[in-house]
Amino acid sequence: MSMSWFSRSVVAAVGAVVAVSCGGGGGGGEKDFGPRWWEEVQDEAAPPLTDIQAEPDEQGTTPDERAEPDARVEPDEVGEPCVPDCADKECGDDNGCGKPCIVDAGCKGNPPCALGVCDLSGVCAFQPQDSECDDGNQCTVGDFCGGGKCKAGPDPLDCSDDNPCTSDSCDPAAGCSSVANTLPCDDGDPCTKGDACSEGACIPGGPNLCDDKNPCTTDTCETGVGCHNDPVWDGTGCDDTNICTVGDSCQAGKCVPGKAANCADTNPCTVDSCAPGTGCVHTNAADSTPCDDGDGCTQADYCLGGKCIPSGEKDCNDFNSCTVDSCATGGKCEHEKLTGDFYCSDDDPCTEPDWCLEGECQPGPLLPGCQ
């Protein structure tokens, strides 16, 4: 409404009697008009009716001078009296007679989700509205009216600033905020690694060595492109990390195993093998397993607790009493020839004593009575 203070006051004064009937149910006495929204919206306050002064027209006459009291037209002389109809009108609305509906002091409603409206008697009620609203929380979007109240929208406010070096959050009162962090990040250069955030920016880390852990490639990094892992020459020595192979070599960019590692420990009483994770393994052979201790002068060797044990000396006896029998290194029997007065027997009972000469038993003198 856009009335002058004078016009608004005159309308309020003329409609006061009728407005009392719109209040209804008040129990008699003077009815409280309640908050005057049409004035509050304009951030204005109407002056008391007693303070309103009649304004002169262009000829300098006042309303009282222009119309005598007996010349005023009463409502019943111009047809139906103007009876306020407050039904479904917003509290404070013009009811059609230039007079506002009388409302209770608490009938302000909760625009825009619930409006205070008056019935025929001027009693205030709340009428839910279906419209957009603002729940006052800076972190919600798409707020909507439901059941006369403003409800938060289904999706939270997106506060992301697309900067990995800031931690984004939302405060219901203040809204979005972004705080610098020190998280790992990617500066977009493939030739750096270990990039980290500092003061809201991504700072490059150390150089990217592009190490693919393959001994058969040469590793380099090209700025703006990234890593290159090129095969080395075939036949280049390498290590396939398997300790059970030896002589590994590169072939077409891959490390190819060489021959099997030799785990023999020269001990005939162990079973030798190789485990890829630990290397050579030597397990004791079963006790009593026949073996060779490598000494040719022993015989019937056998295993006991992982060691080769000889059961006896090699027999080098040539049954010649004129030789000294022994076993030399390598297991060869030796027979030292004797010469002199060594006991021997030429198997002839008529000679005695027999004696040795160059390892041969020589007959002794002929005994008496023997032919």
Tens of pLDDT, residue by residue over 200-244, are 999 999 999 999 999 999 999 999 899 999 999 999 999 999 999
In a domain, 252, yes or no: no
331: confidence class by pLDDT, cuts 50, 70, 90: confident
Residue 258 predicted with pLDDT over 70: yes
Pairwise CA distance, residues 163 & 185, whole Å:
10
In a domain, 343, yes or no: yes
Q: Which residues of 323-337 are buried (b: 16+ CB within 10 A; e: fewer)?
A: beeebeeeeeeeeee
Give the chain's domain count.
4
**pLDDT tens digits for range 292-302:** 888 889 888 99
91 plus 190 within the same structural domain: no
58 plus 78 within the same structural domain: yes
Pairwise CA distance, residues 341 & 113, whole Å:
144
Residues facing 259 on adjacent strands: 246
In a domain, 292, yes or no: yes
* pLDDT confidence of residue 343: 81
- Other beta carbons less than 10 A from residue 250's beta carbon: 21
158: confidence class by pLDDT, cuts 50, 70, 90: very high
305 plus 330 within the same structural domain: no
* pLDDT confidence of residue 58: 41
CA-based nearest residue to 166, from 197, 138, 204 = 197
Dihedral (C-alpha) 207, 212, 215, 219: value to the nearest 10 degrees? -40
CA-based nearest residue to 88, from 79, 101, 98 = 101
Q: Where are the alpha helices (DSSP H) in the chain?
A: 5-14, 16-23, 37-40, 63-66
Both tokens of residue 87?
Answer: 């039904």
CA-based nearest residue to 135, from 116, 153, 159 = 153
**pLDDT tens digits for range 9-33:** 323 333 332 333 333 333 333 333 3
pTM given for the model: 0.40
In a domain, 369, yes or no: no
* pLDDT confidence of residue 290: 94
Residue 369 predicted with pLDDT over 50: yes
Q: Which of 106-115, 127-136, 238-247, 305-314 has the lowest mean pLDDT?
A: 106-115
**pLDDT tens digits for range 65-100:** 333 333 323 333 333 444 556 666 655 556 565 555
Average pLDDT over residues 180-190: 95
Dihedral (C-alpha) 131, 135, 136, 138: value to the nearest 10 degrees? -100
Pairwise CA distance, residues 168 & 178, whole Å:
4
Q: Which of 66-70, 283-287, 325-329 has the lowest mean pLDDT?
A: 66-70
Residue of 371 and 322 predicted with greater confidence: 322
109: confidence class by pLDDT, cuts 50, 70, 90: low
Q: Which of 47-51, 140-144, 272-276 has the lowest mean pLDDT?
A: 47-51
Residue of 45 and 248 predicted with greater confidence: 248
200 plus 292 within the same structural domain: no
What distances in angstroms separate CA 332 from CA 120, 295, 326, 337, one per listed residue? 141, 10, 8, 16
108 plus 80 within the same structural domain: yes
In a domain, 153, yes or no: no
What distances in angstroms separate CA 313 from CA 155, 309, 320, one per listed residue? 98, 12, 19
Residue of 331 and 250 predicted with greater confidence: 250
45 plus 121 within the same structural domain: yes
42 plus 117 within the same structural domain: yes
* pLDDT confidence of residue 105: 43
286 plus 328 within the same structural domain: no
Domain that holds residue 347: 323-362
Pairwise CA distance, residues 213 & 24, whole Å:
93
Torsion angles phi and psi, residue 160, rounded to 5? -70, 130
